[in-house]
């Protein structure tokens, strides 16, 4: 009997110990899981956004790792692109990154992500210019982007000062050169393009430039390429200009009223001459048709009746032989499609012809 009781007690003790150990294991596992999730959340929400040991790299951008402010290497996140041994952005596949743009880059603060001040003016999809104030950033954009700049008071052939707004389509092809070979790559590129713009503008006058604003950008690009500027930008600064467009070309505000007045006056004069010639041609046509009709007085009375009543107009025109064909020849359309205003203008023309003969 004692032996049986001893066995039962031993069995119960063993079961108790097993349950205790099992509970301890699950508690330990739960603690490990909670601790791991807490660490992961700490990394994701605090360490990576502040570039401590970890960082996030957006698609189409790169970040530079420095060691004691000296260049170390480039991290890139751009599908079908990688970095070669010379730090050039080339087509290819990056080593596998299980978390995409989320990277462990090294032991901070021995290693750090390079940050710098950058100011630029971009362009929206609608063509609107958006000016970004100087801000501290930790990445460099690799994809094509459109930047805005303005060349002020570039003189044309007649020494008229002009302001030219440009759109430059640029991509960074070597992040190391762009960030460490020059103080500010965008400012340097723009400042070296401006003299070329001035050289182009001085070759012709404002009136011709505004008729061919699309061609100015192409001329600027071709001249910059011929001067070796585009190749220099790529070789020295790791930056490629792909396109130059002119958004706007005009005299500065303070010059506009004074310098445009003669130009606008000439446009108005040309417009007046064209209108006068058109009126003269119209009167000549009316005179020719009236001669074919043969009765100026009857035509005048008919037009007066037309203006008083649409019904009278219809009956009167139909009652006069040949009048419908004459009016169609003058207006170029059937009489039922002619407006009262057009009839009135024709009557006034006929009255002038009846008073003074054919106008010249």
Inform me whether the pLDDT recorded for 58 exceeds 90: yes
Q: Are 146 and 122 in contact (CB under 8 A)?
A: yes
Beta bridge partners of 73: 65
Sorting pLDDT into bands at 50, 70 and 90, what band is 359?
A: very low
Confidence (pLDDT) at 257: 55
| Structure tokens belonging to residue 200 | 């182009």
How far apart CA 286 and CA 326 sit, in angstroms, is 9
- Report for 36-50, 159-173, 268-282, 341-355: range of highest mean pLDDT: 159-173
Beta bridge partners of 105: none
Query: Phi/psi at 114 (nearest 5 deg)?
Result: -70, 135
pLDDT mean across residues, the chain: 79
Quick one: CA dihedral 245, 126, 136, 98, positive or negative? negative
Inform me whether the pLDDT recorded for 316 exceeds 70: no
Residue whose tokens read 């209108």: 275
How far apart CA 122 and CA 3 sit, in angstroms, is 91
pLDDT digits (tens, 9 = 90+) for 17-28: 667 666 666 676
Q: Has this prediction a pTM greater than 0.85? A: no
How far apart CA 42 and CA 49 sit, in angstroms, is 10
**Each residue of 185-197: b (16+ CB within 10 Å) or e?**
bbebbbeebbebb
Q: Are 176 and 85 in contact (CB under 8 A)?
A: no
Q: Are 234 and 173 in contact (CB under 8 A)?
A: yes
| Structure tokens belonging to residue 355 | 């008073």
Inform me whether the pLDDT recorded for 91 exceeds 70: yes
pLDDT digits (tens, 9 = 90+) for 261-303: 565 555 555 555 445 454 445 545 554 555 555 555 656 666 6
CA dihedral in degrees (201, 203, 206, 212; nearest 10)?
-80
Domains of the chain: which residue ranges?
Answer: 1-47, 54-113, 120-251, 267-356
Q: Omega of the bond prior to 109 within 30 degrees of 0, cis?
A: yes
Beta bridge partners of 309: none
Residue whose tokens read 């401006």: 194
The three-class DSSP label of residue 276 is helix
Residue 290 CB: number of other CB atoms within 10 A?
20
Confidence (pLDDT) at 175: 96
Between 196 and 261, the more confident residue is: 196
Between 262 and 32, the more confident residue is: 32
Confidence (pLDDT) at 56: 95
Q: Where are the alpha helices (DSSP H) in the chain?
A: 2-42, 175-180, 185-201, 206-211, 213-226, 229-232, 253-293, 296-308, 310-319, 323-331, 340-356
- Report for 7-11, 247-251, 292-296, 341-345: range of highest mean pLDDT: 247-251
pLDDT digits (tens, 9 = 90+) for 75-84: 999 999 999 9
- Identify the architecture of domain 120-251 in CATH: 2-Layer Sandwich (3.30)
């Amino acid at each position: 009997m004692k032996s049986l009781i001893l066995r039962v007690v031993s069995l119960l003790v063993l079961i108790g110990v097993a349950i205790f150990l099992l509970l301890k294991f699950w508690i330990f596992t739960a603690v490990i899981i909670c601790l791991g999730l807490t660490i992961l959340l700490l990394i994701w929400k605090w360490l990576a956004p502040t570039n401590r040991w970890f960082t996030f790299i957006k698609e189409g951008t790169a970040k530079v790792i420095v060691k004691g402010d000296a260049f170390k290497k480039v991290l890139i996140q751009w599908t079908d692109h990688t970095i070669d041994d010379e730090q050039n952005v080339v087509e290819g596949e990056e080593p596998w990154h299980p978390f995409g743009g989320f990277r462990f880059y090294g032991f901070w603060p021995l290693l750090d992500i390079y940050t710098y001040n950058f100011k630029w003016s971009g362009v929206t999809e609608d063509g609107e210019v958006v000016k970004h104030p100087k801000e501290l950033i930790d990445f460099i954009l690799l994809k094509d982007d459109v930047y805005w700049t303005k060349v002020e008071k570039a003189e044309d052939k007649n020494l008229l000062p002009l302001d030219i707004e440009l759109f430059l389509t640029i991509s960074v092809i070597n992040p190391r050169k762009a960030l460490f070979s020059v103080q500010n790559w965008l400012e340097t590129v723009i400042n070296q393009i401006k003299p070329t713009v001035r050289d182009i503008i001085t070759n012709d006058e404002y009136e011709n430039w505004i008729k061919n604003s699309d061609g100015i950008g192409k001329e600027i690009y071709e001249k910059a390429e011929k001067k070796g500027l585009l190749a220099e930008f790529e070789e020295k600064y790791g930056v490629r200009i792909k396109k130059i467009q002119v958004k706007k070309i005009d005299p500065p505000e303070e010059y506009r009223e004074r310098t445009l007045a003669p130009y606008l006056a000439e446009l108005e004069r040309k417009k007046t001459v064209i209108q006068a010639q058109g009126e003269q041609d119209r009167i000549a046509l009316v005179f020719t048709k009236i001669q074919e009709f043969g009765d100026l007085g009857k035509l005048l009375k008919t037009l007066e009746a037309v203006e008083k009543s649409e019904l009278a107009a219809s009956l009167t025109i139909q009652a006069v032989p040949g009048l419908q064909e004459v009016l169609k020849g003058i207006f170029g359309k059937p009489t039922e499609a002619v407006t009262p205003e057009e009839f009135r203008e024709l009557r006034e023309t006929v009255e002038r012809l009846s008073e003074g003969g054919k106008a010249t």
